[in-house]
Structure 1
Amino acid sequence: MESPQLGKILIIDDNEDLLFAAKMFLKKHAKEVTIEKDPRRIPFLINNNSFDVILLDMNFTDDTTSGKEGFHWLKQIKEIDPSAVVILITAFGDVEMAVRALKEGATDFILKPWQNEKLLATLTAASRLKESYNQVEKLSTKQKQLQSELKKPYADIIGQSASMKNIFSIIDKVAQTDANILILGENGTGKELIARAIHDRSHRKDEIFVGVDMGAITETLFESELFGHKKGSFTDAKEDRPGRFEIADNGTLFLDEIGNLSMPLQSKLLTVLQRREVTRIGSNKAVPVDIRLICATNMPVHEMVLDNTFRQDLLYRINTVEIFLPPLRERQDDIPILANHFLKSYAQKYRKEFEGFTPNAMQMLQKYHWPGNIRELQHAIERAIIMADGKQLDTRDFFFLSSKPVNEKAPAMANTYNLDEMEKSTIQRAIDKNGGNISKAAKELGLTRASLYRRLEKYGL
């Protein structure tokens, strides 16, 4: 059995035969159908129920031709529920009455006796309109909640270290401008949080924030995803589709992992940023876009410019202001604050009670090098809370963390036959030999820069 395509319907008409006929027909298509012959019960019904569509007769027994009663009850309904979707019905319709009905708040106008197919089509369109009203209301509520959260400065970014205070200061200065921002930092340092904080404090805060993981977009889908396409422009283009640039119009576009783009894709992106317009695949029409651009990467783009793997003109275009997020190991003062935040959050999620951390456990967390940064700390706290038995998290609850200090070198190959340890050791020696120059180390290892970066991330180097 097909699910109902309509929601809750209310029909008000003094013709009982019409009411029962309409109910018999519509109950196959609606979740619920309520009928009422006395319009005086309208306030009670609307105040005690939520209807998706209201079908209201324009003429009752007191007045069978002018539509005066219908307009009266339409006004009453809209006063009770301004978002009510009302369709007026009458046997004496004309263009003038229809226009007046629409001006006074009716959604549509239908004549009786109606054709069932026409009635169903009208109600379906009206139900979709009501659904859109509900979605707008939900979004409005969420927006108000977000705005109330923003009254607390940087509630979403946790940190009191000097480096974080400096970042807060930069955000305050750049947020109200439309300057392009480039956020640099290792994986897990919170680059997207910073991007959202800039958006939420900008004059575009009421518009959309669109995030795109550039590292996850293949070359073949790059233009379609970012610039959009027309129906039939390629095999899977079954409908017109706007790209991320168009979707982000008037809002903020966040391009994450921009350092992963190949040179040809960098060129295409640069052209769009220079022209401030996009052309969908399969179309010749350029569409202007107005966006605030924020980019982020964990790769050394300045060094990549010297290696000719990142376009200098693109770098100039995206980094009017640069924000560098330090790794967690350089923010030791923030580790207790972050750890307690995650403790509170996950204790509530898993319905457990904790009094905090033992001194030894907190000392361990502050000494650990955190190659995965804040994201790794978050996962470590969650895992410890799930497995812990006591009221405090102790060192034994973090047994899965390595205890080696930050500056400890990888073990020599002669002391291990573990393939991962051997690869890690080889990579570390190549980097040390080349003074930290990633390009030279990659060349000596016979790897591409991207492959080497993936291994550096894997081993926390």
Structure 2
Amino acid sequence: MKKVLIVDDSLDIQASLKFLLEDEGYTCHGVVTPDAAFDYVSTQEVDLVLLDMNFTQDTTRGKEGLAAISQLMQIDPLLPIVVMTGWATLDLAVNALKQGAADFIEKPWDDERLAHSIKVHIEKRADRQDLVRLSAENERLKKTQRSINFVTQSEHKQRVLAQLTQLAQSEMNILLTGENGTGKSYYAQYIHEHSRRADGSFISINMGAVSDELFNSELFGHKKGAFTDAKEDRVGAFTLASNGSLFLDEIANLSLRSQAKLLQVLEERKYTAVGSHKVLENTARIISATNSKLHDAIANQAFRQDLYYRLNTVEVEIPPLRACPEDILPLAERFLSQFSHNYKKPLASLMPCAVKALKQYEFLGNVRELKHMMERVVFTCANAKVFASDLALNNASDQSLHSTTKSTSVIPENHDLTLDEIVEQALFSRLAFHGGNVSKAAKSLGLSRSAWYRKMDKYE
């Protein structure tokens, strides 16, 4: 409930204003001096101040009121102040507005005019607060985002990057497809950085981890008190990505119910935060990604065809690492350098036997698997030298990934692994065993799809 502070030395006027405003749904608090108002605004949350212009020192010229406006604005620059006086003059009204007052009301006031003014300026305050929060969040996101610099010697990948560079200049929605671990989120950020929206925010959200119950709140935001756990306002992904790019990862994992909501926003380009009546415009560019075969999902009525056509103005397939073998060693060396620096370890180097093993290994987990492998060996190798045994690879001849007989584990016998590393390898191995099918991999481990994605997020 919005709170109005009434600053007037007449208790009768305070009582009349409280009667009117409480009937309009506001909470009211009254004080009789500007000093009391300063103390109250400094310690309490106030949405609007109704300020009389004349007090005991000066009952007609409004000097105390003008001074109070300036001091209140110093305490809270976004606080709307509606001034009231029975000694109204044009000069006083102009001076009050110059000092920062939101409106000027003559006494005796018109109830409807006053109520409308309060409503309008409280809504404007909320909008300004949202803008300040959004600007701060955007600045924070920009500072945490890293510039994407791809390492590639592969002609295949270079052609993909050239295509994405060209597409980035358009406003088309782009659908990225490809296997798990190919780095689709990095390609999405690459598109953003090479677009005309690069100064805006790049917001990424994993749709596989968003339940139907949280969909509206995550995507569109909510107002404080909109539901039981809404203890404060939340800015949704669409708002954060305004005039920027919104990356919807694992789009195929949305339920049909959530797909319908997303389709409506993409078609109408409008949305509303939960608990708000204000209609907001969607100005975000949509980049989405999936490792699923959407045509099969459409045929099985698990994915809406109309949403598919909204998302894939153009579709780009990201190649797996095994299709770009020239990139394996440069990527491995880059990851080794990165993790050696991050963990303050000596710069690790690949021995010839490790190089040979990497070239022969089939990375079904793609770049993600290679990245985590290099992170692990920074800790497990001796004297900063990485040998084939440090890579903990299975022999190609007996990899269960290629076996038709299921085994309970494909984790190598390495007693130096931490519990997190064992869990991580189990997830990737099980996913590879099931050919990248998340539903089967999750079910085989007794996990729901959302629980699976939460665990995968933990390991990037």
TM-score (norm 1): 0.58
Matched, 1:402 2:394: yes
SS, match of residue 278 in structure 1: strand
Query: In the aligned structure 1, how far is the partner of 2:395 from the partner of 2:327?
Result: 20
1:246 to 217, 239, 253: 239
Query: In the aligned structure 2, how far is the partner of 1:234 from the partner of 1:351?
Result: 46
SS, match of residue 281 in structure 1: coil
SS, match of residue 246 in structure 1: helix
Give the match for residue 108 of structure 1.
none
Q: CA deviation at 1:351?
A: 3.3
Query: In the aligned structure 1, how far is the partner of 2:239 from the partner of 2:97?
Result: 37
Q: CA deviation at 1:339?
A: 0.7
Identical positions, percent: 37
Letter in 2 for 1:403: N
Matched, 1:189 2:179: no
Task: Tell me the alpha carbon deviations over residues 66-93 of structure 1, each in whole angstroms, 9 at most, x when there is no partner.
Answer: xxxxxxxxxxxxxxxxxxx9xxxxxxxx
Cα distance change, pair 344–289 in 1 and its aligned pair in 2 (3 A)? same
1:302 to 290, 295, 308: 295
Give the match for residue 207 of structure 1.
200
Moved over 6 A (4+): 98-103, 140-143, 406-409, 436-439, 445-448
Q: CA deviation at 1:411?
A: 4.3
Letter in 2 for 1:404: A
Q: CA deviation at 1:240?
A: 3.7
Cα distance change, pair 280–394 in 1 and its aligned pair in 2 (3 A)? same
Query: In the aligned structure 2, how far is the partner of 1:174 from the partner of 1:208?
Result: 18
Task: Tell me the alpha carbon deviations over residues 247-301 of structure 1, each in whole angstroms, 9 at most, x when there is no partner.
Answer: 2111111111111001111111101110000022233432212111001112111
Cα distance change, pair 438–308 in 1 and its aligned pair in 2 (3 A)? farther
Q: CA deviation at 1:420?
A: 4.8
1:323 to 312, 316, 325: 316
Q: CA deviation at 1:437?
A: 12
1:235 to 222, 228, 231: 228
Whether the 8 Å CA contact 1:368–1:406 is kept in 2: the answer is no
Query: In the aligned structure 2, how far is the partner of 1:297 from the partner of 1:204?
Result: 23
Size of the aligned set, in residue pairs, is: 313
Q: CA deviation at 1:341?
A: 0.5
Q: CA deviation at 1:188?
A: 1.8
Q: CA deviation at 1:380?
A: 1.1
SS, match of residue 250 in structure 1: coil
Give the match for residue 220 of structure 1.
213
Matched, 1:365 2:355: no
Whether the 8 Å CA contact 1:209–1:254 is kept in 2: the answer is yes
Cα distance change, pair 262–273 in 1 and its aligned pair in 2 (3 A)? same
Query: In the aligned structure 2, how far is the partner of 1:419 from the partner of 1:256?
Result: 30
1:376 to 360, 369, 372: 369
Query: In the aligned structure 1, how far is the partner of 2:398 from the partner of 2:298?
Result: 30
Letter in 1 for 2:333: N
Cα distance change, pair 323–405 in 1 and its aligned pair in 2 (3 A)? farther
Q: CA deviation at 1:372?
A: 2.1
TM-score (norm 2): 0.58
Whether the 8 Å CA contact 1:369–1:405 is kept in 2: the answer is no
Matched, 1:332 2:325: yes
Q: CA deviation at 1:401?
A: 2.1
Query: In the aligned structure 2, how far is the partner of 1:355 from the partner of 1:255?
Result: 36
Give the match for residue 264 of structure 1.
257
Q: CA deviation at 1:348?
A: 2.2
Letter in 1 for 2:394: S
Matched, 1:385 2:378: yes
Letter in 2 for 1:326: P
Whether the 8 Å CA contact 1:369–1:406 is kept in 2: the answer is no
Query: In the aligned structure 2, how far is the partner of 1:164 from the partner of 1:335?
Result: 12
Task: Tell me the alpha carbon deviations over residues 13-59 of structure 1, each in whole angstroms, 9 at most, x when there is no partner.
Answer: xxxxxxxxxxxxxxxx9xxxxxxxxxxxxxxxxxxxxxxxxxxxxxx
Query: In the aligned structure 1, how far is the partner of 2:309 from the partner of 2:287?
Result: 13
Letter in 2 for 1:316: Y
Query: In the aligned structure 2, how far is the partner of 1:348 from the partner of 1:222?
Result: 38
Letter in 1 for 2:250: E
Q: CA deviation at 1:313?
A: 0.7
Letter in 2 for 1:401: L
Matched, 1:166 2:148: no
Q: CA deviation at 1:381?
A: 1.1
Letter in 2 for 1:322: E
Q: CA deviation at 1:231?
A: 3.2
Map 1:102-117 onto structure 2 (within 5 A).
none
Letter in 2 for 1:213: N
Query: In the aligned structure 2, how far is the partner of 1:369 from the partner of 1:140?
Result: 39
Whether the 8 Å CA contact 1:368–1:405 is kept in 2: the answer is no
Whether the 8 Å CA contact 2:335–2:374 is kept in 1: the answer is yes
Whether the 8 Å CA contact 1:258–1:296 is kept in 2: the answer is yes
SS, match of residue 180 in structure 2: coil
Cα distance change, pair 141–315 in 1 and its aligned pair in 2 (3 A)? closer
Q: CA deviation at 1:412?
A: 5.6
Task: Tell me the alpha carbon deviations over residues 132-165 of structure 1, each in whole angstroms, 9 at most, x when there is no partner.
Answer: 9xx97x959977x98xx96xxxx52221212210
Give the match for residue 340 of structure 2.
347
Task: Tell me the alpha carbon deviations over residues 150-206 of structure 1, each in whole angstroms, 9 at most, x when there is no partner.
Answer: 6xxxx5222121221011111111111110011112222111111111111111111
Q: CA deviation at 1:337?
A: 0.6
Map 1:429-440 onto structure 2 (within 5 A).
none
1:157 to 150, 153, 167: 150
Cα distance change, pair 140–237 in 1 and its aligned pair in 2 (3 A)? closer
Letter in 2 for 1:228: G
Cα distance change, pair 195–437 in 1 and its aligned pair in 2 (3 A)? closer
SS, match of residue 221 in structure 1: helix
Taking only aligned residues, the RMSD between alpha carbons, in angstroms, comes to 4.5
Give the match for residue 118 of structure 1.
none
Letter in 1 for 2:273: R
Q: CA deviation at 1:374?
A: 1.3
